[in-house]
Copies of this chain bind each other. A is one copy, B any other.
Amino acid sequence: MENSEKKFADSENCPVRNVLDRFGDKWSTLVLLVLDDTKVLRFNEIHKMIDTISQKMLAVTLKSLEADGLVLRTQYPEIPPRVEYTLSERGASLIPHIKSLVQWANANFEAITQSRAAYKK
């Protein structure tokens, strides 16, 4: 009995599951794209660019991206505080892969929208 049927089970040890758990959240990928687009951004600047994200979720998203070593956080000892976010090298290395997905998205956006509308049930 082969267990090819278990290839994706067990998210602890499966890199695929692990990374999908990581980026299958609502905001991480978008934040990375925004940082790639503008290189250096402060908290409130990111918040303006993605205006539907809540401050709370932006805070936790940035924190987990930082924990994963994808984003660098630089804090200046001033008041009011100033904090700058940038992609790390590792974060930057992810971008081309995300952009390849984005290209597909742009190419298929219309067709998908139409399928969705036609599906209606």
Contact = CB atoms under 8 A, between A and B. Distances in A.
A37 B119 contact: no
Contacts of A8: 30, 33-34, 37, 49-50
Interface in A1-26: 4-9, 11, 15-26
Interface in A31-74: 33-34, 37-38, 45, 48-52, 66-70
Secondary structure of the A contact surface, majority rule: helix
A99 to B, nearest CB: 9
A106 B106 CA distance: 26
Interface residues of A, number: 57
Nearest to A31: B8
Contacts of A103: 97
A17 B31 CA distance: 11
B37 A30 contact: no
Nearest to A108: B90
Interface of A: 4-9, 11, 15-27, 29-30, 33-34, 37-38, 45, 48-52, 66-70, 90, 93-94, 97-98, 100-106, 108-109, 111-113, 115-116, 119
